[in-house]
Amino acid sequence: MTANRFISPLDHLIVGVDKALRVVGGVTAMSRPNPATHAMDSELSDTDRRHSAGLMRVNHVGEVCAQALYDAQASFAHTPQLRAQFEEAGQEEEDHLAWCAQRLDELGSQPSVLNPLWYAGAYVMGAVAARIGDPVSLGFVVETERQVEAHLNSHLELLPQQDAKSRAIVDQMRIDEIAHADAAQAMGAAPLPMPVKMVMRAMAKVMTTAAYRI
């Protein structure tokens, strides 16, 4: 039987850099079918198309950040069970990333040019939360996913009614984010202090406002 190979910090660094380059470079693959596949592709006005593209670019940025967060939290998790949970959630978030990228292309638009910045910032936040301890790391997931759920609910109201493809993607993302938050809560998430939640909301506001345009 082959012995388990020791994974050095350098190995983790190389894997992490490779993951970051693939995410910000748009090299992602989906493990589940795109929920928009069977949605009716309605004709959109130029105004509605630009609006949908702006919202889906925001969602794409959110998924870039999710990749960074889950990768950092998995790397610094204190137990194998928690690491496996973060890796599984990260895989589902990679589906979201691919779906959003595909929809942006269909809308004749592109991801945010600031994706490297968003990824780096999110990775640092995830690493800090994980280093503090697993309950805090899980609490960070719960708060992040609850904020994302609210954000996606607002997008279901803001997206043009006839943009069934974008709406199908956003709705499935919302379902997955709820499940991620519930799983983190069940694993022993610690509640975050209100000032931390307020800072997270403020940072999310800056990100979404910028990503809608660039």
Q: Is 157 annotated as a binding residue?
A: no
Q: Is 92 annotated as a binding residue?
A: no
> Which tokens go with 73?
């939290």
Q: Is 78 annotated as a binding residue?
A: no
Q: Is 145 annotated as a binding residue?
A: yes
> Which tokens go with 27?
């090299």
Measured between alpha carbons, how far is 87 from 81 in angstroms, rounded to an integer?
Answer: 10
Distances from the Cα of 173 to the Cα of 85, 152, 168, angstroms: 18, 8, 9
29 CB-near residues (< 8 Å, 6+ apart): 94, 98
Q: Is 63 annotated as a binding residue?
A: yes
Angle between helices 134-158 and 46-75 (to 10 degrees): 170
Q: Is 96 annotated as a binding residue?
A: yes
Nearest residue to 63 (alpha-carbon basis) of 157, 159, 158, 172: 172
Going by the annotation, the residues of the binding site for Fe cation are 63, 93, 96, 145, 177, 180
Residues annotated within the binding site are 63, 93, 96, 145, 177, 180
